[in-house]
Amino acid sequence: GENVEQHPSTLSVQEGDSAVIKCTYSDSASNYFPWYKQELGKGPQLIIDIRSNVGEKKDQRIAVTLNKTAKHFSLHITETQPEDSAVYFCAASGSGGSNYKLTFGKGTLLTVNP
Amino acid sequence: DAGVTQSPTHLIKTRGQQVTLRCSPKSGHDTVSWYQQALGQGPQFIFQYYEEEERQRGNFPDRFSGHQFPNYSSELNVNALLLGDSALYLCASSRDHNAPLHFGNGTRLTVT
């Protein structure tokens, strides 16, 4: 089955700096790659997603890049703010490309210091 | 517009007991998926329901079962609870197989 590796497990940055989280996946059939933000006591919230026919996608301070050949994708957050502090998860769609069966990485705890 | 709602928020059970967790999907969504999130880990797919049938299943034993009702709400049942079943159980809904998953805030299950 699909396997998703996520690095780093923890990331500490100063307010205003950029943060980058990287993930690799194993199943070349995967074609959907969402990123979720999870705050303490809450469920994961979708922040951005990308499909395999697109190499990069931006939404204000957040961007995701995908390299299908190398099977890795990354989340970039610019001008970080304290409210960006949370656990971030990458995920990849399971075999068959269904959005329902996502395989998640183990998460990155991002801390933005004021 | 209410998002995905789950009940209860917290639950404590004893090993060997049975538990039922409930989920109401976001308005306009007809597909429900269940995930288990152990402490410090990413969510793991349990199964997905569409048109009141289980369509896909992850690597979970038969002790985990579910149901979807005509109003699209869903239940997750776990029999013969083990200590290792302690986790946050997340329900996610979506409009169709190409649409993103929207998660609820989960039910925290503790098995003692």
- Statement: residue A83 has pLDDT above 60: yes
**Percentage of chain A surpassing pLDDT 90?**
82
- Statement: residue A21 has pLDDT above 70: yes
- Which chain A residues touch B99 with a CB distance below 8 Å? 99
pLDDT, tens digit, for every residue of B91-100?
999 998 778 8
Largest CA distance in chain B: 39
- Per run of 10 residues, the mean pLDDT along chain B (length 112 residues) is 91 98 96 96 95 92 97 97 98 87 97 98
B108: exposed, middle or buried (Cβ count in 10 Å: 0-12, 13-18, 19+): middle
What pLDDT score was predicted for residue A95? 57
- Statement: residue A104 has pLDDT above 60: yes
Instruction: pLDDT band for A29, please (50, 70, 90 cuts).
Output: confident
Give the tokens for residue B54: 């289980």
Chain B contact present for A102, CB below 8 A = yes
Comparing alpha-carbon positions, the chain A residue that sits nearest to B6 is A43
* Cis amide bond preceding B100, omega within 30: no
Comparing alpha-carbon positions, the chain A residue that sits nearest to B40 is A106
Residue type (1 letter), B97 = H
- Which chain B residues touch A100 with a CB distance below 8 Å? 31, 33, 45, 48, 55-56, 92, 94, 97, 101
Residue B103 CA to residue B35 CA, distance in Å, equals: 9
What pLDDT score was predicted for residue B1? 61
What pLDDT score was predicted for residue B36? 98
Residue A99 CA to residue A30 CA, distance in Å, equals: 10
Left, alpha or beta for B28 (phi > 0: left; psi -120 to 50: alpha)?
Answer: left
Comparing alpha-carbon positions, the chain B residue that sits nearest to A6 is B42
Which among B4, B40, B58 is the nearest to A101, CB-wise? B58
Residue B49 CA to residue B56 CA, distance in Å, equals: 8
Q: Which of B47, B93, B97, B107 to mutate to test the interface with A (most CBs of A within 10 A)?
A: B97
Give the tokens for residue B98: 């190409």
- Which chain B residues touch A49 with a CB distance below 8 Å? 100
Chain B contact present for A86, CB below 8 A = no
pLDDT, tens digit, for every residue of A42-58?
999 999 999 888 899 99
- Which chain B residues touch A44 with a CB distance below 8 Å? 43, 90, 103
Contact residues for B97 (Cβ-Cβ < 8 A; gap 6+): A98, A99, A100, B31
